[in-house]
Every structure is written in structure tokens, then in C-alpha cells.
Homo-oligomer: A and B are copies of this chain.
Amino acid sequence: MNATIIEAVNDALHKEMENDDKTVVFGQDVAESGGVFRATEGLLAEFGSDRVLDAPLSEIAIAGAAVGLATHGYRPVAEIQFSGFLPPAFDQLVTNASRIRWRTRGELTAPMVVRTPYGAGVRALEHHSESLEGAYGHIPGLKLAIPSTPHDAKGMLISAIRDPDPVLFMEPKHVYRSLREDVPEETYTEPLGKAAVRREGTDVTVVSWGSMMHNTIEAVDNLENVDAEIIDLRTISPFDRETVLESVRKTGRCVVVHEAAKTGGFGGEVIAAINDDALMYLEAPINRVTGFDIPVPLLSMEDFYIPHPPRIEEAIEETMSH
């Protein structure tokens, strides 16, 4: 099938609900309405109101109840309507979801997924556009995946649902519908914790994830003289150091691109990992192209916030000039 990311997410949910009747989908407006982005469209009709439920306006309860369901043998897939409304649930992720297995020495486990659309660029209202993967990626015990393509969205979401541990699944809403690709009809998984080399190259490694992948690819396409290797990190936690390191050892140069604010963002960790184990291969400082250290502006100026291809191009060129 030819699918957008949102369709791929929807298909993954259908497939896993079919595959495992312990899978339960809930969140605000996911049932009759099919989700504000239609990610859960059709699930209610197919699987019924026991397994597809609207939740009250209660992010704490959504995350907390997911832990409870998961410890009881279910596979909850909860939706937080926008990533800007995940902060109320932060405590449930830190205090319950991420460590119930650890606390109980494996007696109770939380195989749950919290899906949330993240990022700017869709002209949403205040607080709707945040990218806080840097903060969530710092919670031991919580996996954090961010697909960038329809193929990965489906395969990684299926992996996340089957994962024995809690997974925060941040979906790049800016490209929810703006790109399509062939996606296998059948069920398949893409592994969590494994980056993908989107393009091989020898001059410079460009690492990105989520919606910034597409700006990155566009930037690289525009740079005719640079043979860039593009890595889609795909999972923030656990972070696939090896794929990044291997590439940087080959290219000697690296640019990291993310939409979140720069300071304290996950780009720092990528750089630190390279510093740890590939410093001597570096021919230039690693460049970061990121959002600025400000909240995402309201819609009229939000585009200025986003790392657009020219910013990425410039950073790659600058890196190449060393």
C-alpha cells in the first residue's frame, strides 16, 4: 500500500489490535472521532468500545492507567493529543512507567506505548508544538522512538506495541500527511534502538530524526558537491551509538539536526558519544542545527524557529570547510 505516516500509524494499530486482543487503544477523542489527526480512525468500529476508548481530559490518568493495564497483561497504546500536553504526565512516566519492572525485579512490567504527535510547522496553537525528546530521552527505563517515514512509522509502532518495556512514541506531525511511500500491507517490525542509514556517503555524517530528517535530506540533495551519509536515529533511547560512530569514523565529519531547543537537547548526547569513541577521527567540530533556546513561537513566526534546509546546508558546508 501507498501510505502517509498517519495512515501507517493507523494501519499498525489495526494490525496489532487484530494480532493481539490484549491491545487496547485509548486517549482523548480516539474513539468516535478517530483522533484529532485520525490516527485511530476505524478502530472503534472494528474492535469495539472495550478496546478503543476515549479518555477524559486527564493526561496523568492516561499515562498512569496505561501502567496499570500493562501490568495486568494488556498492551495499552495511549495517545496524548499533542506533545505539549505530555508534561502533565511526566511524573507517571518517571515514577511508574519507567521503573515498575526495575522496582519489582521483573515481577510487574509495563509493556505500554504512549503515542504523541510532536513538533512545529502545522500552525497549531500555543503549547502544541514542543519537542522535548531531550528531556524524555533522559529517563532511564523509558524507551523513546521517533519514526520519520511511513515505513518506519508502521514497523516501529508495531515493535513498540510488542516491546516488553514502555515506549514513548513521538510522531512527526509536520509530515503526517505530506509524504507517502510504499508500505507493505502485511505486518512487519522495524527494530527499536537501531538507527537507519538513509543514504551512504563519505564526506560527512548528518544525523537527524523525525520531521527534521526530511529537511536534512532536502539540504543534502541541494549540496551537489558533498557526498553526505545520512543517519536517521529513529530511536532516542536506547540510542544507537554504534551506527553513528561507525559512520563518523568513516567520514570524519558530522552535523546533528534536531528541532528541539539546542541547549540540553539530544544533539549534545550525540556529540558526546562521538567525543567518547571517535574523537580522533574528527576533522572538524560537529555542527548542530537545532531549534533555538526559546518556546516554539506562535504560528505566524513558527517557521523561523524550524531548522530549514538552508540552515542545514550552511552547517554542512561550514563543516566541510574545515
Check if A264 sits within 8 Å of B134, measured CB to CB: yes
Binds B, one of A38-46, A108-116, A137-145, A193-201: A137-145
Q: Which of the four size classes fits the interface of chain A?
A: 35 or more
- Among B99, B239, B272, point to the contact of A271 (Cβ < 8 A): B272
Minimum CB–CB distance from A270 to chain B (whole Å) comes to 8
Closest to A127 in B: B95
Given the interface pairs A263-B137, A263-B239, the reply to whether A272 lies near B276 with Cβ below 8 Å is: no
Given the interface pairs A87-B94, A263-B239, the reply to whether A285 lies near B295 with Cβ below 8 Å is: no
Interface residues of A in 115-156 (CB under 8 A from B): 126-127, 130, 132, 134-141
Number of this chain's copies in the assembly equals 2
Interface residues of A in 175-227 (CB under 8 A from B): none
Check if B279 sits within 8 Å of A272, measured CB to CB: no
Residues of A within 8 A of B (CB): 84, 87-88, 90-91, 94-95, 98-99, 102-103, 126-127, 130, 132, 134-141, 237, 239, 260-261, 263-269, 271-272, 275-277, 279-280, 282, 284-286, 288, 292-295
Q: A84-B95, A272-B286 are in contact. List 18 more A-B contacts (CB 8 A).
A: A87-B90, A88-B91, A98-B295, A102-B294, A102-B295, A103-B295, A134-B134, A135-B138, A137-B263, A138-B264, A138-B265, A140-B292, A140-B295, A141-B294, A237-B263, A272-B272, A275-B275, A279-B285
